[in-house]
Amino acid sequence: MATEISRETRSRSEARKEFDSYVQSEAFVSLLDDAISKQFEKFFSSEDFKKMLVATTTSVKQIEGLSAQLNKVKVCANENEQYSRHCNIRIFGLPELEDENCYEVVTEFCKTKLGYNLELREIDRTHRVGRLRHGKQRAIIVKFCSYQSKIKVIKSLKKISRELQYMSMKI
């Protein structure tokens, strides 16, 4: 039985060597190259391929058009976002108090430090921005109801010195 297994193993080994030799021969490579070339020619000249090529070309053109449209929309969205902020100012350095009312903080700051009597009706929204961190004051965003109110506050800021302090804090 061992001799039968040994013979079978040898014959398999010889068959494997013969197969490897054939696969590496020029005749096999040439035959394989011809078969592959014929299949490619058949595929590329088929109507299915031509239809797929037209569909792909059309899809690529649509994607390019949509990409250009998307870029235009992004630009418009950015412009709208910037325009929506044209009535905003950001104030840094105002001390943050627990349970503060940002409307009152801003109006009090404008009255005492800028000499401008900002009325609550001139402010659309105001709030602190960013995460609360120990020892750091968050900035306050003020959205004015009108651009004119914003300009009045900015002009008041320009009238005072650069070293502005409020409640013993540099602003």
Q: DSSP characters for 42-95?
A: HHHTSHHHHHHHHHHHHHHHHHHHHHHHHHHHHHHHHHHHHHHTTTEEEE--PP
CA 67, distance to chain mean position in Å, is 15
Domain range holding 15? Answer: 1-45
> Do 160 and 91 share a structural domain?
yes
pTM reported for the whole predicted model: 0.57
Residues in contact with 105: Cβ distance below 8 Å, sequence separation at least 6, in sequence order: 94, 97, 140
Domain count, the chain: 2
Q: Considering the domain boundaries, does residue 171 fall inside one?
A: no
Summarised one tens digit per residue, pLDDT across range 102-155 is 999 999 999 988 888 999 999 999 999 988 887 788 999 999 999 999 999 988
In the structure encoding, which two tokens stand for residue 9, read together?
């193993």
DSSP 134: T
Q: Say if residue 93 is in the same domain as residue 38.
A: no
